Structure 1
Amino acid sequence: MQIVFEATWEATLSDQQKQAFIHQYETKRCKQEEFTATPILLKHKRNGGLVATVFLQNNRDEVLSFQEATVCVVNEQGVTVAEETFSLTLDIPPYSATPWSFVFLPTHVDFIEEPTDEWKVIIK
């Protein structure tokens, strides 16, 4: 499994930042399902929004393409704390993972407590 950075990420991240993502991916226990969204970082924004950064992992033998995705952030109790539909153009090559951040508007965030390490992302 390899890390593939989307073109904008490839152009804007430093080599050190890319290596940090690669190292973090190597330490994650990613599931071997056809597709997974493995959490990396969850941050509150000052405006009340939320940023969920994940590894989108394609364990299939064909390209996985996204044009629209409904993304839910779920806390450790299984409660959906943010949900929003995103328009995006993203292709993940076979047997690879791509880091990606979903930025939720404040109107789509239903909590204010600090996140724990037990959160997850569900993509519909």
Structure 2
Amino acid sequence: MQIMFEETWDATLSDQQKQAFIYQYETKRSVHDEFTATPILLKRKRNGGLVATVFLQNNRDELLSIREATVYVVNERGETAAEETFSLSLDIPSFTATPWSFVFLPTCVDSTEEPTDGWKVFIK
């Protein structure tokens, strides 16, 4: 599986930042589901919102087009910590991973806990 940076990310990230994403992806456990969102960094914003940066992995042999996604952040107890629907225009080629950040509004965050490594991200 290879990493592809979306056009805006490709234009704004430095080579060093891109290499850091590539290195981090290489250290993640490979998941073989058709589509996964593997957390890279979950961070609470000062305003009470939440940022979930993930690798979106297309493990299918066809292009994956994402136009709308309901994203859930779930804590280690299986409770929904955040939920929001996002409009996107993202195409992920087959067998490719793309880093992406979802920024949750404070009104969509149901938890005051600080995110931990045990939190997961699900997309429908």
- Where on the TM-score scale, by shorter chain, does this alignment land: which range? over 0.9
Long gaps (5+) in structure 1: none
Contact 1:51-1:101 within 8 A present in 2 as well: yes
Q: How far apart, in 2, do the equivalents of 1:98 and 1:30 lie?
A: 14
SS in 2 for 1:33: coil
Percent identity at matched positions? 80
Q: Which residue of 2 aligns with 1:110?
A: 110
Q: Which residue of 1 aligns with 2:14?
A: 14
Q: How far apart, in 2, do the equivalents of 1:107 and 1:123 lie?
A: 19
Shift of 1:114: 1.1
CA-atom RMSD in angstroms: 0.5
Q: Which residue of 1 aligns with 2:81?
A: 81
Q: Which amino acid aligns with 2:114?
A: E
Q: Which amino acid aligns with 1:96?
A: T
Long gaps (5+) in structure 2: none
Q: Which residue of 2 aligns with 1:95?
A: 95
Please report the TM-score for the alignment, with normalisation by the length of structure 1.
Answer: 0.99
Kindly report structure 1 stretches of 4+ aligned residues shifted beyond 3 Å. Answer: none
Shift of 1:116: 1.1
Q: Which residue of 2 aligns with 1:66?
A: 66
SS in 2 for 1:69: strand
Contact 1:58-1:96 within 8 A present in 2 as well: yes
Shift of 1:27: 0.1
- Cα deviation, 1:58-97, whole Å, max 9, x if unaligned, reads 0111100000000000000000000000001000000000
Shift of 1:112: 1.1
Q: How far apart, in 1, do the equivalents of 2:109 and 2:43 lie?
A: 12
